[in-house]
Amino acid sequence: MSTTCETTAAFTCFNREGLATLLPHQGSALRKIDGVFLNKANPTFITGMKKIEPGDPDLDGHFPGAPTYPGYAQDEFTCLTAAALVLYLNDGLERNPHVVQKVCRYKRAVSPGDTLRAEVVLKSRRSRFFHFSAEIRNQHEEIVAEYEKIVGVL
């Protein structure tokens, strides 16, 4: 099974197995993201995808009778998307990306059955530091969360 869909098309995509070859994250850390799409014409933009399944372990305890996908899992999904962009653009880097700061506003609850799309934009780079902004939208195009700032470091 192919892990990427890189062709002469305008986009490159990685499914979860492909992300395992790109990101240092492994195992259960990768269950917070299903895949990413990179636009070759705009290398500062990446889209991450995540379908929230009813049995997702992150729903456990959040909240009985009204399951809600927690903010920390949304953060990790967005940060994994940003890390994929950093490592894709900087092929051959041996350092692991880490988030050192983020500013987020949650706008809407996420429930089982929702499909999330993280749109992450690389705003600037200074030495080992990468500054991003991001939005998470659901399948209805409603903003779920906004990230003014995500700072990653290699």
Token readout for 81 is 């998307």
- Predicted TM-score (pTM) of this structure: 0.90
The pLDDT value recorded for residue 89 is: 86
Rounded average pLDDT over 84-110? 86
Rounded average pLDDT over 97-114? 92
The domains located in the chain, with CATH, are 11-153 (3.10.129.10)
User: What pairs with residue 62 in β-bridges?
Assistant: none
Pairing of strands 98-106, 143-153: antiparallel
d(CA 113, CA 129): 35
135, 45, 34, 134 alpha-carbon torsion, rounded to 10°: -20
Query: pLDDT band at residue 131, thresholds of 50, 70 and 90?
Result: very high
User: What pairs with residue 111 in β-bridges?
Assistant: none
The pLDDT value recorded for residue 151 is: 86
Residue 91 one-letter amino acid: D
